[in-house]
Amino acid sequence: MKSSVAGRVLVVDEDWASLEALAQALREKGHSVSLATDGRTGLTRAAEVRAEVVLVDEALPVLDLRTFFDVIREDPRTSGAHLFVMGRGDPARLASLDARAEPVVKPFHAGEVAARIDDLLRAAHAPAEERELRGDLDQVALFDLLQVFAANARTGRLVLAQGDTDASIWVERGDVVDATAGGVSGEKALYRALAVTEGQFVFTPTEHVGKRRIQSSVSGLLMEAARRADEVERLAPSLPSRRALLRRSLDLRPEEAVAAEVMALLVEDRSVQELLDHAVAHDLEVLRALLRLIEEGAVEVLGIQVEEIDLCREDEALMLGAAAAELRRSGLKGVIRVGVIAEAREQIAAFCRALSAIRQFRPAVDPPAPAGSSVFGALGTLSIGGARLELFALPPDDSSLPMIAAFMAPSRAVMVLSSRAVSKNLVALLSDLDLRLVVAEPGWERPEGAAANLRGLLRA
């Protein structure tokens, strides 16, 4: 029986029996099916047909599973695709391979899998019944909003904006399942978001496709958030400014876990806010531990404060925003990306510290992953003149060059922090991809230098 919609499905598997069975079952329902037997071909086909559903075997030839899913999510032509991972054994094991993918256990009945995909496609093509909800937090309290969403089993993303800061809360059938704020996520981010009492909110009905980082009930979360806010307010008079610099003054190794984490992070000078952002522990626990360490003399507060700076003058913002938009290749949508290549992880860390002092910069929720001598992943987003520019760390090792090709295809520029990270193979690849190579001027490890180099990249 044919479906009421015709969707676009990609199946990637070395096993031709699985390919043929799924293709036949899906085509009988009227869906367009593309097939591939390895990861690289699969990515090409996915982009060509703009796949809405992608099924891939866990033993993906040529390309590892995580990179395959990353590219699918990053490509604007496939970023909204529903992902399935196929394999044998425990479905929980398959689900743990990637939180973005729904497990399909082999051997499977092709008709049942096709029916599941058909349901997804019909739901995706159905007309939206819900509308966006906007308002001011000084008129509708965030606590009240979440209670209303819980009572009405709403699903969507709640975005809060206050000046240059923003936070997001995802709800699923009324439950709070995730949150992000600045560079943190999960419950830690939720408690930060719930402290916002001014600004605007926008609720958009949408599915949450990331990890479920929050498990507690809405009522429990709201009670705990209120308790934490009261405690932070009580501690505030005894604490240094969030921009104050901290230095470890004693080689102390506390037994208490949060205090030990604070001392480990202060192996280099950090501001209070930077300490809160880098710590795994929640803000309240970090502030309590910090206050004890200051009282014990293990940490000193320097008289210097990290001063925030603007990326540019106000009259330059629109021009630089337009220049940022030109870094996206013609005809493509999605994030505007600039690659950042460094010789070592320490250089990326220093650059991120400089970026954190720029008001228009927001660090990524998940830190970049180690890759070769450097790291790989999003550093954060720069908002300028209405454009949002993602800075993305790329390793310089020759073995990592295929990742540069995959992640920088929609973009036009790469910035290198050290000329020693530039190899002949890297130059050749960037030339083939028509990517402009910009070598950063000295001083990029300081906020003013980082801002100047970014302005220079946009003006070039």
Q: What local confidence, expressed as pLDDT, does residue 125 receive? A: 74
* pLDDT at residue 10, as a whole number: 94
Structure tokens, 321: 């925003």
**pLDDT of 227:** 94
Q: What is the DSSP letter of 216?
A: S
Distance (Å, whole) CA 219 – CA 419: 54
pLDDT bracket for residue 2 (50, 70, 90): low
* Beta bridge mates, 361: 382
- Is the model's pLDDT at 153 over the cut of 60? yes
pLDDT at 384 over 60: yes
Tell the CATH topology of 314-459: Rossmann fold (3.40.50)
How far is the C-alpha of 379 from the C-alpha of 59, rounded, in Å?
30
Q: How far apart are alpha carbons 59 and 46 in whole angstroms? A: 18
DSSP for residue 348? H
User: CATH number for the 8-125 domain, one of 3.40.50.450, 3.10.28.10, 3.30.70.1560, 3.40.50.2300?
Assistant: 3.40.50.2300
C-alpha dihedral over 231, 256, 293, 346, to 10 degrees? -110
What are the Cα distances from residue 163, in Å, to 87, 90, 166, 198, 332? 47, 47, 8, 9, 29
Q: Which one, of 114, 115, 206, lies nearest residue 159 by Cα?
A: 206
Confidence of residue 457 (pLDDT cuts 50, 70, 90): very high
DSSP line for 157-180: EEEEEETTEEEEEEEETTEEEEEE
Using 50, 70 and 90 to split pLDDT, how confident is the model at 321? confident
- Equal CATH topology for 8-125 and 314-459: yes
My answer on whether omega of the bond before 368 falls inside 30° of 0, hence cis, is: no
pLDDT for 163: 56
Query: Which pLDDT score, from 0 to 100, does residue 328 have?
Result: 77
- Among 60-74, 236-250, 350-364, the least confident range: 60-74
Share of the chain above pLDDT 70, in %: 94
- The one-letter amino acid code at 188 reads K
pLDDT, greater one: 113 or 96:
113
Distance in angstroms (rounded) separating the CA atoms of residues 214 and 195: 17
Annotated domain spans of the chain: 8-125, 133-233, 239-305, 314-459
Q: What is the pLDDT of residues 166-208, one digit of tens each?
A: 788 999 999 999 998 877 889 999 999 998 888 889 998 887 7
User: What's the confidence (pLDDT) of residue 86?
Assistant: 92
Between the alpha carbon of residue 219 and those of residues 108, 137, 145, 177, the distances in Å are 40, 19, 12, 13
